[in-house]
Structure 1
Amino acid sequence: MKKILLLLLMFSATSFAQNKEEKTNFLFIAIDDMNDWTGFLGGHPQAITPNLDRLAEKGTNFSNAHCSAPGCSPSRNALLYGVEPFNSGLYPFYDEGIHEQLMKEYVSLPRLLKENGYITYGAGKIHHGSKNDEREWTNYLETKKHKKIFAEGEGYQLGKKSKMSFRPTIQPEEDNTDYEVASYGVDFLKDKHNEPFFLAIGIVKPHLPFDAPKRFFDALPDEITPPEILENDLNDIPAVGKSLRKAGEDKRFRAANKWSDVRKAYLACISWADYNIGRVLDALEKSEYADNTVVIIWSDHGYHMGEKMAFKKFTLWERATRVPFIIYDPKGKNNGTIEEAVSLINIYKTIADKAKIETPKYVDGTSLLPLVMEKNTILNQPAITSWGQGNYAVRDNQYRYIRYFDGTEELYMLTEDKNEWKNLAKDENFKPEINRLSKYLPKTEKTMIKEYVNPWSVEGEFRKVYRNNKVK
């Protein structure tokens, strides 16, 4: 009888352990402002990103991935709440006060997981704004303030603005926020966890200021290869498209002959981000969770580095919307590089699908799990990017179609014109493509939410009113 009881207990324990293992863990890594200047995307010949490259090689590299909006706040709101800007009204940037309003209307991704049996741990920049909300997080790291010490006489700073700094730092590497955030992830993965987990790590670099430890600057050559730039590139672009550019810094960098310094600092910050991401990935590989943790790595939007005479993001062109996006599932097929256009809006449903959790009915997008788990699967659904009510880009495997709120248009054949130098919108031969792609534009638009809005970031139909602060 004792033997039978012992066998039953052993069977029960084994069964319990297997049931625990059935729930997939998630390592969710968000990167701020990283464009395709990585090795695995081939965006810049001098990029040094060995850790991201390694993950892309063994996982699924979505090489034609695009954000829902080319700005931190609307991009992250769309991804984390699972709602496109034209369905939420969250087109521009918002103050932190909007967080409570959104939590009443939507279920965020970490909250969905927490309410369905996951422990949720986070650090760094996940949301754009509010962080430690117990409805979303089991635990959230409160980072310290770190003082920077700069290498004397090295790098570049535009004026006295600390944000416009492009300089190497020499304080200990652990005295940096991204190092602290990555360490939080490393320590978490060393610990024992009996519940399935969602570990969110928000890496801030390469967001401005472009400051990073000196060794990442020193690893790069003195002169940085500039991107391909066409001097008369703007001649065939509508007025609204031109107005979206942040052209002031480009003019200043050109006048001071400092673009090479800026680009070197950006690449150094990318390498620094890659290093910290690598620390977390290494910790996962060494942990007991390696065989049951799906890794999702994404950046919130791309970044102009002089192309189209622009700096930063906030446009509807390829440079501002294309992002690094990798999914590695240790139990999946991991189909190498997928060139089909995909949107980051699909992340919410992909994670829920893998976790076997039903999503709220309002959630946009579709699960990418079939692309990770199977072969020869296609979505055949373009990526939509919004920047201001009425301004949209539609990106499929071949074309980018842009329509602005005033009806003006751009069309580029990316397979022949990767730099988007030739606007084909007025070419009658391409009217069928415009007609086809325009069918994917939003049929209805939710009016922009006015509460907590940052007027500087309002584009589209409401630009003049909000830029002049005439409406509160």
Structure 2
Amino acid sequence: MSRPNILFIVADDLNSWIAPLGRHPDVKTPAIDLLASRGTTFLHAYCTAPYCNASRMSVFSGCLPTTTGVYHNEPFWRAPHRRITLPEKLHEAGYFCFGAGKVFHGVFDYADAGRNRTRSAQWTDTENRSALWDEFHVTAAEPLPSERPLNGMFDFDDFQNVAPMNHHFDWGAVEPTRELEMPDFKTAEAVCSFLKKQHKQPFFCATGFYKPHLPWYVPQRFLDLYPIDKITLPFVKSDDLDDVPAIAKTWALSPPDHETVLKHGQWRNAVQGYLAAISYCDSQIGRVLAALDASPAAENTIVVLWGDNGFHLGEKLHWRKFVLWEEATRVPFILLPPRNIVTSPRVEQPVSLVDIFPTLFDLCGLELPPDIDGRSLVPLARGGQMEDHAAIMTWLRGNHSVRLGRWRYTRYSDLSEELYDLSADPYEWNNLIGDTRFEEVRLGLADRLPTDRRV
């Protein structure tokens, strides 16, 4: 049999609320559920950074931010001795590289759309490079409701005084006549068309969905899946930040999203919007998976589904990502190998998205580039063990977190720390730093933190 194809699906800001991970009781993700029933779900998978550009550069290079130097939006392509990327290596190995949507980092211009009251936000690919692809379909403009913001939390008539972070902090229904304009619909359409074709060489098909990234504008039927009076809100303690370091508290409360959402009575509406955006994304994933199943490539294609970072909706009094806690860093990661390979349905051990690159190469029988940080997870997927394997997360230079077994340990750039036993404390309410019973655990985890490379 020829080398397997790869269907590579990434969803932006998709946190651990998908049904196979059980983090939220209301969510409906039938397409993801079906994929999980056929493949291996990594129950505790983590991004390398709670920010899409840094996370994606790790996935595509197989290296941590401390290796790439990309902690946020630092240059990757022009960096001296930059790492070769996954599509480049696959192209060298004879793969046809196809992409559509938000694969590498890019942005919608919500500032221009808000300032000029336009009905669409235009897309700019910031990190994608045309030379990586044999064929690529750029993200379409995003249709926007006319009366924004729908949540009424900001005054777009005084747009110059609306903080950039709030240009897209909104949720509600997109107009029915504009549903077919939505960028994820068009991305799925391009991928489905590609999958229907007969291919003479193995392919790498990268599919980048923008939802459930803000703004959570989706067709009304997805909001209707979640009646507002039945929404389950996240577990939140009002004093949750009392035992965290000052740097973490600053990150959590800047901007004061939770205070703003509560002031305007929008918490349930926001959770409804995010859940609806997850279900909308799931529907587009379902279209792509159905196209694969009906295609000539169905029997010999690896499917990998992942979210680039997590997302808070009030947990630890925080919204969005940009922190080193569970909600911002835990993500979906599902692997379906070619149909002649049997794998375990669930893996409990913490793993990292940096492991995707070597895992795919292992399944394809390809030689890895030297000196990458990730490791193949095929042994875990086949029911084995990787006893010393941990997941490392970084947010901005000098701030690192490690997940190993039941533990999360974080050390910040000012040397302040957090330690949580997630088996007993899954929502990270009790920082164990200073408890002498866990000093040996703290020291062992601290030894695993990476060293930032010199500038």
Match of 1:193 among 188, 199, 208: 199
Match of 2:169 among 161, 164, 167: 164
Output one character per residue of 1:54-79: Cα deviation in whole Å (capped at 9) or x when no partner: 11121100010001001111111111
Alignment match, 1:409? 417
Alignment match, 1:367? 376
User: Equivalents in 2 of 1:64, 1:169: separation in Å?
Assistant: 33
Q: Mark the CA change 1:167 to 1:202 in structure 2 (over 3 Å): closer, same or farther.
A: same
Secondary structure at the counterpart of residue 233 of structure 1: coil
Alignment match, 1:445? 452
Please say which structure displays the higher CA radius of gyration. 1
Alignment match, 1:3? none
Preserved CA contact (<8 Å) 1:150 1:168: no
Q: In the alignment, is residue 326 of structure 1 matched against residue 322 of structure 2?
A: no
| Further displaced range: 362-371 or 396-405 | 362-371
User: Equivalents in 1 of 2:95, 2:287: separation in Å?
Assistant: 24
User: Equivalents in 1 of 2:100, 2:127: separation in Å?
Assistant: 8
| Further displaced range: 308-317 or 100-109 | 100-109
Secondary structure at the counterpart of residue 79 of structure 1: helix
Any gaps of 5 or more consecutive residues in structure 2?
107-125, 157-165
Preserved CA contact (<8 Å) 2:96 2:201: yes
Q: In the alignment, is residue 339 of structure 1 matched against residue 348 of structure 2?
A: yes
Any gaps of 5 or more consecutive residues in structure 1?
1-20, 449-472
Preserved CA contact (<8 Å) 2:409 2:445: yes
Aligned amino acid, residue 187 of structure 1: S
Q: Mark the CA change 1:135 to 1:248 in structure 2 (over 3 Å): closer, same or farther.
A: same
Q: In the alignment, is residue 356 of structure 1 matched against residue 365 of structure 2?
A: yes
Output one character per residue of 1:239-287: Cα deviation in whole Å (capped at 9) or x when no partner: 1111222441111001111111111100110000000000000111111
Residue 133 of structure 1 and its aligned partner are, at CA, apart by 2.9
RMSD of aligned residue pairs (Cα, Å):
1.9
Q: In the TM superposition, what are the counterparts of 1:42-121 in structure 2 within 5 Å?
A: 42-94=22-74, 98-102=75-79, 105-121=82-98
Q: Mark the CA change 1:125 to 1:143 in structure 2 (over 3 Å): closer, same or farther.
A: closer
Secondary structure at the counterpart of residue 123 of structure 1: strand
Q: In the alignment, is residue 268 of structure 1 matched against residue 248 of structure 2?
A: no
Residue 404 of structure 1 and its aligned partner are, at CA, apart by 0.8
Match of 1:225 among 216, 219, 232: 232
User: Equivalents in 2 of 1:441, 1:154: separation in Å?
Assistant: 43
Preserved CA contact (<8 Å) 1:174 1:180: yes
Q: Mark the CA change 1:427 to 1:127 in structure 2 (over 3 Å): closer, same or farther.
A: same
Alignment match, 2:241? 234
| Further displaced range: 138-147 or 226-235 | 138-147
Residue 103 of structure 1 and its aligned partner are, at CA, apart by 9.1
Alignment match, 1:398? 406
4+ long deviations beyond 6 Å: 150-154
Alignment match, 1:465? none
User: Equivalents in 1 of 2:240, 2:397: separation in Å?
Assistant: 25
Secondary structure at the counterpart of residue 78 of structure 2: helix
User: Equivalents in 1 of 2:443, 2:326: separation in Å?
Assistant: 20
Alignment match, 1:206? 212
What is the aligned residue count?
Answer: 423
TM-score by length of 1: 0.86
Alignment match, 1:385? 393
Preserved CA contact (<8 Å) 1:132 1:140: no
Q: Mark the CA change 1:115 to 1:156 in structure 2 (over 3 Å): closer, same or farther.
A: farther
Preserved CA contact (<8 Å) 1:294 1:328: yes
Residue 88 of structure 1 and its aligned partner are, at CA, apart by 2.0
Q: Mark the CA change 1:228 to 1:132 in structure 2 (over 3 Å): closer, same or farther.
A: closer
Secondary structure at the counterpart of residue 393 of structure 1: strand
Q: Mark the CA change 1:439 to 1:313 in structure 2 (over 3 Å): closer, same or farther.
A: same
Aligned amino acid, residue 90 of structure 2: L
Preserved CA contact (<8 Å) 1:158 1:165: no
User: Equivalents in 2 of 1:387, 1:146: separation in Å?
Assistant: 29
| Further displaced range: 242-251 or 324-333 | 242-251
Alignment match, 2:17? 37
Output one character per residue of 1:417-453: Cα deviation in whole Å (capped at 9) or x when no partner: 00100000110000011011111112x32135xxxxx
| Identity level (%) | 37
User: Equivalents in 1 of 2:233, 2:46: separation in Å?
Assistant: 23
Q: Mark the CA change 1:151 to 1:118 in structure 2 (over 3 Å): closer, same or farther.
A: same
Output one character per residue of 1:342-389: Cα deviation in whole Å (capped at 9) or x when no partner: 0011011111222222222121110112222x2233353110001122
Q: In the TM superposition, what are the counterparts of 1:132-143 in structure 2 within 5 Å?
A: 133-143=129-139
Q: Mark the CA change 1:364 to 1:231 in structure 2 (over 3 Å): closer, same or farther.
A: same
User: Equivalents in 1 of 2:394, 2:128: separation in Å?
Assistant: 28
User: Equivalents in 1 of 2:313, 2:99: separation in Å?
Assistant: 30
User: Equivalents in 2 of 1:156, 1:293: separation in Å?
Assistant: 46
User: Equivalents in 2 of 1:167, 1:389: separation in Å?
Assistant: 36
Alignment match, 2:441? 433
Secondary structure at the counterpart of residue 179 of structure 2: coil
Q: In the alignment, is residue 26 of structure 1 matched against residue 24 of structure 2?
A: no
Aligned amino acid, residue 88 of structure 1: T
Aligned amino acid, residue 169 of structure 2: M
User: Equivalents in 2 of 1:77, 1:394: separation in Å?
Assistant: 19
Residue 206 of structure 1 and its aligned partner are, at CA, apart by 0.7
Aligned amino acid, residue 56 of structure 1: A
User: Equivalents in 2 of 1:376, 1:153: separation in Å?
Assistant: 50
Q: Mark the CA change 1:290 to 1:433 in structure 2 (over 3 Å): closer, same or farther.
A: same
Residue 408 of structure 1 and its aligned partner are, at CA, apart by 0.9
Q: Mark the CA change 1:325 to 1:156 in structure 2 (over 3 Å): closer, same or farther.
A: farther
User: Equivalents in 2 of 1:337, 1:427: separation in Å?
Assistant: 33
User: Equivalents in 2 of 1:58, 1:158: separation in Å?
Assistant: 44
Preserved CA contact (<8 Å) 1:68 1:345: yes
User: Equivalents in 2 of 1:192, 1:342: separation in Å?
Assistant: 35
User: Equivalents in 1 of 2:215, 2:87: separation in Å?
Assistant: 28
User: Equivalents in 1 of 2:128, 2:311: separation in Å?
Assistant: 28
